[in-house]
Amino acid sequence: MNLVKNDLFQVKIDDLSDTGEGIGKVDGFTWFIKDAIIGDVVEAKVMKTKKSYGFARLIKVMEPSAYRVEPRCKVARQCGGCQLQAMDYREQLRYKENKVLNNLKRIGGFANFVRGDVGEDADAGVGAEGAIAVYPIIGMDDPWRYRNKAQFPFGWDKEGKLITGFYAGRTHSITPQDDCLLGVEENQVILSCVKEFMEEFKIAPYDEENHRGIVRHVLIRKGFRTGELMVCLVVNGSARDLKKTEVLVERLVSLFGAAASTFAGVRMASISVSSNQEKTNVIMGTKIENLYGPGYITDYIGNVQYRISPLSFYQVNPVQTEKLYGTALEYAGLTGDETVWDLYCGIGTISLFMARKAKQVYGVEVVPQAIEDARANAKLNDISNVEFFVGKAEEVLPEQYEKNRVYADVIVVDPPRKGCDEACLDTIVRMAPKRVVYVSCDSATLARDLKWLCGKGYWVEKVRAVDMFPGTMHVETICCLTRIK
């Protein structure tokens, strides 16, 4: 079958791509079709073809998958942010766990997997050197309203109406949506308030084509445990370009508190403006002007409190983050006598979790602002057995090891999607910790790095996936590696 642009064809979907497109084959030719899920038989229209694969648009689901459900969001297809919203949640979990294992097999070359149980029979029959215990993926009881952070762009629609929402996939075209079902319910009333303020005082949204207009984005954050809210307006200018900021502050504060029974226990704690006058896709500017409150909110992961500013990195799913870090702490096997190094430590979230059970913790992060936040968070929690360094792990660790004889019983790594640099992996091997706890947001680069470490004297003891982002393709994985004696 030789298909060309605009031709219609039918195909059964057998897999999903890393970006969420359904994958099916016709006469050996591979098709990528957005919005299709595994098990669907679909009619699609050819959009673009390459030598051995092509892209097509979903026209009609001819035979729905047994796992297909009706998306709860009315703009799920247009937005594209929730690639798996049409898939039953239990099937999402099964797919993500299999994705991790397939990458470990295909890229890492691992084959000896045994099922690890939880509860009374945990680790029964598990632990033989060379065997990898795979524990059930940690999902959510309620996979909605889990995001504590959202960034909404503002713009005009084709009729000249002020809108906010999300950029459609791979575009800068805004899909109107002020109540994303992954975000908190407070987002909708905050956005409505900001939009009405802009319309009343004739404050234009930013137009990136001509670099004019004022309001680029609105950042909203919520402390799930504290109920504290943050609003930060990202503007092409400064706070005075907004006009009447005192009116906006008064209105935002009045939305919540004692008089607003709809959101009991929630209060507006911080309102600020971020100046970003660059022609860039980067959302936040580096200059923050505080309009109300202390300039930050606080929240907890477990019993550790964190101070979160507009520019702070902080995990967006606090419910699953506590489970993820709890698993990391379990895998570290701390007794109170260990020295722990936390590489790519960010604002110290894992470091401070570990410090409660370790003798000493050292955190390393290349971003200076993150280290400032980490030190402030340590002070906030009165944790004194932790020290933070600014720099690359592959430079800081050898220096501390060789000059100051600082060693490691346990090393924790939580790198970006690209994984660990080989120099960092080499440093880990030279420091020879008893255990390495690897937290990964990309199971492909994880598999590559595990293969490297296992070639240098380690074996993967435990693996567990954690669903931090239900409805999307993303999955976190946590592994425990043990040094072979």
Contacts of 472 (CB under 8 A, 6+ apart): 20, 81, 82, 83, 84
* Of the candidate ranges 134-143, 310-319, 327-336, 473-482, the one whose mean pLDDT is the lowest: 310-319
Phi, psi of 453 (to 5 degrees): -65, -35
Sequential DSSP letters for 370-389 = HHHHHHHHHHHTT--SEEEE
153-165 mean pLDDT: 94
Which pLDDT score is estimated for 120?
41
Question: Measured between alpha carbons, how far is 453 from 86 in angstroms, rounded to an integer?
Answer: 38
Question: Measured between alpha carbons, how far is 352 from 399 in angstroms, rounded to an integer?
Answer: 23
381 in Cβ contact with 352 (< 8 Å) = yes
Query: What share of the chain in percent tops pLDDT 90?
Result: 82
Q: Tell me the CA distances in angstroms from 226 to 25, 232, 265, 266, 307, one per residue in order.
A: 50, 18, 8, 8, 11
Alpha helices in 147-279 (DSSP H): 186-200, 245-254
Beta carbons within 10 angstroms of residue 434's beta carbon:
15
Which pLDDT score is estimated for 262?
72
Which pLDDT score is estimated for 259?
60
13-36 per-position pLDDT tens digit: 999 999 999 999 999 999 999 999
316 in Cβ contact with 471 (< 8 Å) = no
* Of the candidate ranges 37-51, 69-83, 112-126, 239-253, the one whose mean pLDDT is the lowest: 112-126
* Of the candidate ranges 41-45, 90-94, 255-259, 435-439, the one whose mean pLDDT is the lowest: 255-259
166-206 per-position pLDDT tens digit: 998 778 889 999 999 999 999 999 999 999 999 999 999 99
Q: How much is the mean pLDDT over the chain?
A: 93
422-430 mean pLDDT: 91
Residue ranges of domains in the chain, CATH in brackets = 8-68 (2.40.50.140), 92-142+317-483 (3.40.50.150), 149-308 (2.40.50.1070)
Give the residue from 384, 440, 430 showing the smallest Cα distance to 408: 430
Q: 262: which DSSP letter?
A: G
374-395 per-position pLDDT tens digit: 999 999 999 999 999 999 988 8
Which pLDDT score is estimated for 128?
52
Catalytic residues: 441
Tokens of 318: 């606090």
When pLDDT is cut at 50, 70 and 90, the band that residue 243 belongs to is: confident
135 in Cβ contact with 118 (< 8 Å) = yes
276-314 per-position pLDDT tens digit: 999 998 999 989 999 999 999 999 999 999 999 999 888
Pairing of strands 215-222, 458-466: unpaired
* Of the candidate ranges 248-252, 279-283, 446-450, the one whose mean pLDDT is the lowest: 279-283
Half-sphere exposure of 95 (CA within 13 A, CB side): 24
Give the residue from 292, 304, 402 showing the smallest Cα distance to 352: 304
* Of the candidate ranges 45-54, 258-267, 299-308, 455-464, the one whose mean pLDDT is the lowest: 258-267
444 in Cβ contact with 471 (< 8 Å) = no
Q: What is the pTM of this model?
A: 0.92
Which pLDDT score is estimated for 125?
41
Question: Measured between alpha carbons, how far is 341 from 344 in angstroms, rounded to an integer?
Answer: 10
Which pLDDT score is estimated for 261?
60
199 in Cβ contact with 165 (< 8 Å) = no
282 in Cβ contact with 276 (< 8 Å) = yes
289 in Cβ contact with 272 (< 8 Å) = yes
Which pLDDT score is estimated for 127?
47
Which pLDDT score is estimated for 122?
46
Which pLDDT score is estimated for 385?
98
When pLDDT is cut at 50, 70 and 90, the band that residue 260 belongs to is: low
Beta bridge partners of 15: 23
Which pLDDT score is estimated for 161?
95
Which pLDDT score is estimated for 401?
79
Give the residue from 461, 389, 458 showing the smallest Cα distance to 429: 458
472 in Cβ contact with 71 (< 8 Å) = no
Q: Tell me the CA distances in angstroms from 203 to 196, 348, 424, 435, one per residue in order.
A: 10, 39, 49, 56
Q: Is residue 76 pLDDT above 70, yes or no?
A: yes
Any idea which residue has 């445990």 for tokens? 225
Which pLDDT score is estimated for 474?
96
- Calculate Rg over the CA atoms of the chain: 24
Any idea which residue has 């592959």 for tokens? 394
97 in Cβ contact with 465 (< 8 Å) = yes
